[in-house]
Chain A
Amino acid sequence: MNKLVFILFAGTLLAQDARKIVEESQKLHRSRSQQYEGVLEVYDTKGGKNEKRWQYARIGSYGESKSVLRFLAPPLVKGVALLVQNHPDRASDQWMWTPELNRDRRIALQDRSTRFFGTDFSFEDLEERDVDQSDYTLLGEEALNGQACYKIESVAKKSRTTQYSRVVIWVRKDILLPVQFEMFVKSELVKRLIHKRVEKVQNVWSTLELEMNDLKKKTRTVMKTEKLKYDVALPEEQFTLQALRRGE
């Protein structure tokens, strides 16, 4: 009986630790606002490369933020923009502006596994997730590229829909920054996200290069962040449907 109580107690502690690590990690890398220019390089199975550039701006606290993403290149998608309003208790509201149609369209991704503009990132992969939306288990500690990491398993709570059965996260112990994610569908490893370049920007440890590998399709997408700035004074009016129309 005592043994069973100990096991249950230890299990709760480990789970709490894992949750705490994730919560601390999110807190440490939070900002009131953020702005950057990004480059997406999509590599197909034959090694062919397709590149997209965009501008991103976000305001608001984690899980309750508003963001605008606007493509700058290539010319085929230039001007296409996405407005996302995140809510802590429900799915985000999303609108897409297409310059050719001259209108915004409400979009709702019932299936968030949909690829983000043809890349290996799904819309779900780019979502902000509140720490309370998943349960966490500390699987142990493991070195990754010579860096000591916490290895944590994240399973979405039943109230949250997700394409992944579980996600294993490697969080660097020294800076509490996630550096690798492995996504599983049932027991199959389907995607691996590697934070390839990590640097301090304005005193915040930030990932400046991500690589998402689709292990089923054998394709990969590299996402590079440039001109990253935190706590920029961005007006609220820049995150509205009218701002989408104005092209801001």
Chain B
Amino acid sequence: MSRLALVLLGVLPLWGQNFSQRGFIETRGSFFPQTAPSDSGRAIGDVLLRYEMAYKLTPWLKFNGAIDGRTDTHRQTERQWRVDWQDREMLRPAVSLRRFSLTANKGKWTGEVGKQFIRWGKADILNPLDRFAPRDFLNVVETEYLAVMAGRATWESGGETIDLVWQPRFTPSRSPLLLQRWGGGGALRGDLAQLPPTVRQGRAVLPTGQQWGVRWNHVGRGYEAAGVYYEGHNHLPLLDVRISTFPDFRLELNNYFAKLRMAGGATAIPNRWFTLKAEGGYFSSSTPAADNYFQYVIQAERQSGEWTFVGGYAGEYVTVKRNLLDFAPDRGLTRSFLGRASLQLNPRDTVAFDAALRQNGDGVWVRGEFAHSFDDHWSVRVGGSLIRGRATDFLGQFGRNSHVTFAFRYSF
């Protein structure tokens, strides 16, 4: 037996011990009964392959990696086969490094460097504190978090945790494509429902500055509280309209990102009847077209038998109004009653319902989903979203985007 084989035989058990992986391949079809002003298509098909792995290089150092490969029928995904490590484009990359980071841990300290997910919020239906958590909003009601390039240092002792994050390279949320069904008149707040045919989507103008934030978390006797300070840019865009008259009349919409300073807090208080969670932050900006506002969410959560209920209210108080045009689904969901209920029918089947109702009744979104696992690997989800309301309302403007979805997944 060669020396190499002997070495490999020796190393393989160690590799197995320190290596973990998971992933899935999912194919999904979304069907829309109605066409939209900027989209005549009624069906969208997606395929996504996700592979995640972690390898413990030493007892205190770990590598985390994840890669996505995807395509779709609606040109929401790039057609070029390149590996995108940044995920900052308007279209979803066909192949992207979803996560790529090193985590080190020594005693009370944990550090992570690289592309990673950072979630700071405590609530479940809206998270004003999630400033390092941009999202993919190509479908506004079925979103996914995007990782950010950052360095993170965490100190944890007893019930106290201090988290410092520095993000040198900005990652925006992916907003709906202008000439597709969630874009067009749809995703824009303001009265641009009837876009002339010469409207174009311009390139996003990404800020070059850094973002940083600090979070303190305290786990007390029967409660938990956190305070957050963030300085950087909002990952949700403002929209800049540029008009050109030569060689032809053209309106170009460009995403740009306001400077943002946010200070906020969150708490979770379990009691014998329900768990109360609250989260809020004050957002201020020196960017001329950005608002200053306070955003908050209060929710109660209760588990009863196999049911889980979450219900709450998301609110907003604007202190300085300057903004005319933006894509801000977080703000769009405020002044709303929000709810979620899920039921575990048996080990294989679950049903879940989500709902958002604007307090003035101008918009409503209801989603139901049934999930069934056939065995340890195969599962199916069948769901439907109903959206109704006034065209001037954030939710209501997507009134033609009610849809049903079927998704088959093979997990490994």
> Which residues does A use to contact B, with CB under 8 Å?
42, 44, 50-51, 73-76, 78-79, 90-91, 93, 99, 101-103, 105-111, 113-115, 117-119, 161, 237, 240-242, 245-248
Residues from 395 to 412 in B contacting A, C-beta threshold 8 Å: 411-412
In contact, A110 and B145 (Cβ under 8 angstroms): no
Minimal beta-carbon separation of A145 from chain B (angstroms): 29
In contact, A50 and B347 (Cβ under 8 angstroms): yes
Minimal beta-carbon separation of A57 from chain B (angstroms): 15
Q: A90-B221, A103-B119 are in contact. Are A242 and B376 (CB under 8 A)?
A: no
The residues of B that contact A161 with a CB separation of less than 8 Å are 272
In contact, A110 and B273 (Cβ under 8 angstroms): yes
Stretch of B101-109, B237-245, B354-362 at the chain-chain interface: B101-109
The residues of A that contact B288 with a CB separation of less than 8 Å are none
In contact, A246 and B346 (Cβ under 8 angstroms): no
In contact, B344 and A79 (Cβ under 8 angstroms): no
Q: A44-B346, A50-B348, A99-B22 are in contact. Are A240 and B156 (CB under 8 A)?
A: yes
Task: Point out the residue from B62, B124, B346 that lies within 8 Å of A105, measured CB to CB.
Answer: B124
Stretch of B9-17, B38-46, B169-177, B302-310 at the chain-chain interface: B302-310
Does B139 reach chain A (CB closer than 8 Å)? no
Whole-angstrom distance between the alpha carbons of A117 and B303 in the complex?
A: 13
Closest to B270 in A: A108
* Number of chain B residues close to chain A: CB under 8 A: 50
18 extra interface residue pairs, beta carbon distance < 8 Å, beyond A99-B22, A115-B306, A242-B156: A74-B376, A74-B411, A75-B22, A76-B379, A76-B411, A90-B222, A106-B268, A107-B275, A108-B275, A108-B303, A110-B270, A113-B305, A118-B347, A242-B154, A245-B110, A246-B62, A247-B20, A247-B54
Whole-angstrom distance between the alpha carbons of A105 and B275 in the complex?
A: 11
The residues of B that contact A102 with a CB separation of less than 8 Å are 117, 119, 145
Task: Point out the residue from B105, B277, B348 that lies within 8 Å of A106, measured CB to CB.
Answer: B277
Q: A79-B22, A114-B303, A115-B306 are in contact. Are A242 and B161 (CB under 8 A)?
A: yes
The residues of A that contact B83 with a CB separation of less than 8 Å are none
Minimal beta-carbon separation of A168 from chain B (angstroms): 24
Q: A73-B376, A75-B24 are in contact. Are A118 and B270 (CB under 8 A)?
A: no
Minimal beta-carbon separation of A98 from chain B (angstroms): 11
The residues of B that contact A245 with a CB separation of less than 8 Å are 110
The residues of A that contact B412 with a CB separation of less than 8 Å are 75
Whole-angstrom distance between the alpha carbons of A109 and B277 in the complex?
A: 14
The residues of B that contact A50 with a CB separation of less than 8 Å are 347-348
Closest to B119 in A: A103
The residues of B that contact A109 with a CB separation of less than 8 Å are 303
Does B274 reach chain A (CB closer than 8 Å)? yes
In contact, B275 and A76 (Cβ under 8 angstroms): no
The residues of A that contact B259 with a CB separation of less than 8 Å are none
The residues of A that contact B277 with a CB separation of less than 8 Å are 106
The residues of A that contact B272 with a CB separation of less than 8 Å are 110, 161
Whole-angstrom distance between the alpha carbons of A78 and B377 in the complex?
A: 11
Whole-angstrom distance between the alpha carbons of A91 and B223 in the complex?
A: 12
In contact, B347 and A42 (Cβ under 8 angstroms): yes
Whole-angstrom distance between the alpha carbons of A115 and B277 in the complex?
A: 23
Contact with A along B93-123 (1 / 0, CB 8 A): 0000000000101011010000001010110
In contact, A91 and B377 (Cβ under 8 angstroms): no
Whole-angstrom distance between the alpha carbons of A118 and B268 in the complex?
A: 25
Task: Point out the residue from A51, A74, A111 that lies within 8 Å of B303, measured CB to CB.
Answer: A111
Contact with A along B61-84 (1 / 0, CB 8 A): 010000000000000000000000
Does B192 reach chain A (CB closer than 8 Å)? no
Closest to A89 in B: B221
Q: A102-B117, A110-B302, A242-B161 are in contact. Are A118 and B346 (CB under 8 A)?
A: yes
Whole-angstrom distance between the alpha carbons of A115 and B411 in the complex?
A: 24
Does B316 reach chain A (CB closer than 8 Å)? no
The residues of B that contact A74 with a CB separation of less than 8 Å are 373, 376-377, 411
Residues from 47 to 61 in B contacting A, C-beta threshold 8 Å: 52, 54
The residues of A that contact B22 with a CB separation of less than 8 Å are 75, 78-79, 99
Minimal beta-carbon separation of B27 from chain A (angstroms): 16
Whole-angstrom distance between the alpha carbons of A79 and B304 in the complex?
A: 25
Closest to B379 in A: A76
Closest to B155 in A: A242
Taking each of B54, B344, B346, which has the highest tally of chain A beta carbons within 10 Å of its own beta carbon?
A: B346
In contact, B303 and A241 (Cβ under 8 angstroms): no
The residues of B that contact A79 with a CB separation of less than 8 Å are 22
